[in-house]
A = this chain, B = another copy of it.
């Protein structure tokens, strides 16, 4: 049996994700699809709209055979660290391919870009720093530096977010001397602005979240953009938990947490540096909402994503001594598994060199503290007794099977 790996957030799952999952399986001729999926906090520094268990069900229903949790230590980090974690997990699980969507769509370009990056590492780094200093974004600076140094036109636009991630995946494979191979699929995109729902069946997860949280659309009316079981999953979640998660629900807790800090104690939080702690503590006093807070803190230097990631680490009170840019993949946490997934695991299990966590309560020797904490914090806006039940699930939930 051969497996293809995909790296996902499903926030929430939509038709574009379905296309990606099916294409990945077909194009690599795989028997088994392994989805490495972020836990409760995501790469843009946001809480997931529904729990990892609800998203696992969606992934399984859409055809994933194994759903593995991308730990907090990777899921809330910038592209290179995020990619390193996900690729390492897929390598541990002997996937033949990692298959990622990209705006560009040509795997060779990613390989070439990555090779040039490595060959000219020092010179490119220097140029990137200069371009950053005159006010360019990091992706723009990287594109300019690459062009200047290599004088090659690869046509890989680094200002497109999935191209950035693609390069990170290829870099991770090379860095880890992994045997997994990269393969990219062109993303089907809407021609509209990311935040606007498209007129086709494919729209971005961003546009879906925007429409839901601005009360532009109701879950039940999303059938154009997502499979029916996903809509049912979202509706069930709303009924059971009471809401879909967004940053505003966590704002009272973020404000409370910041209020307990001095600038000195805030400096101990991961990613808090360069004096941003003073800016944060000053802005929070009068901030009326999370959006209001971000708008008060944001500058050219601090992008929204970077600030949101800081806010996630503040919310979870994650310290510099708890997290780094190079965490290790110390375990494989199985969130969901299909019949095919079970056959595949049976085949590879003996060759997996890290512990496989099925149920947390049975794995006392594995350090899952950051992921457990993330779930605890993610549950903060829930009412009792639902909150306590939710927390219990973190310890007692075995891999979901459908």
Contact = CB atoms under 8 A, between A and B. Distances in A.
Interface string A359-402: 00000000001000100110010001101100110000000000
Contacts of A377: 256, 259-260
A259 B384 contact: no
A257 interface: yes
Contacts of A257: 256-257, 260
A253 interface: yes
A353 interface: no
Contact of A384 (B289, B373, B385): B289
Interface magnitude class on chain A = 20 to 34
A392 B285 CA distance: 8
Contacts of A317: 260-261
A381 to B, nearest CB: 8
A168 interface: no
Contacts of A316: 260
Nearest to A391: B285
Given A252-B253, A260-B317, A262-B369, 13 more contacts: A255-B380, A255-B387, A256-B256, A256-B380, A259-B376, A259-B377, A260-B316, A260-B373, A260-B377, A285-B388, A285-B391, A286-B391, A286-B392
B256 A288 contact: no
A287 interface: yes
Taking the full assembly, how many copies of this chain does it contain?
2
Interface in A220-261: 252-253, 255-257, 259-261
Interface core residue of A253, A260, A387 (most chain B CB under 10 Å): A260
Nearest to A316: B260
A384 B290 CA distance: 11
B259 A373 contact: yes
A392 B287 CA distance: 12
A119 B260 CA distance: 43
Closest 5 CB pairs of A and B: A260-B317, A259-B376, A288-B384, A256-B380, A286-B388
A288 B285 CA distance: 30
Interface string A44-55: 000000000000
Contact of A288 (B286, B385, B392): B385
24 contacts: A253-B253, A253-B256, A255-B380, A255-B387, A256-B256, A256-B257, A256-B380, A257-B257, A259-B373, A259-B376, A259-B377, A259-B380, A260-B373, A260-B376, A260-B377, A262-B369, A285-B388, A285-B392, A286-B391, A287-B388, A288-B384, A288-B385, A288-B388, A289-B384
Contact of A252 (B287, B380, B385): B380
Interface string A63-76: 00000000000000
A287 B389 CA distance: 10
Nearest to A377: B259
A132 to B, nearest CB: 33
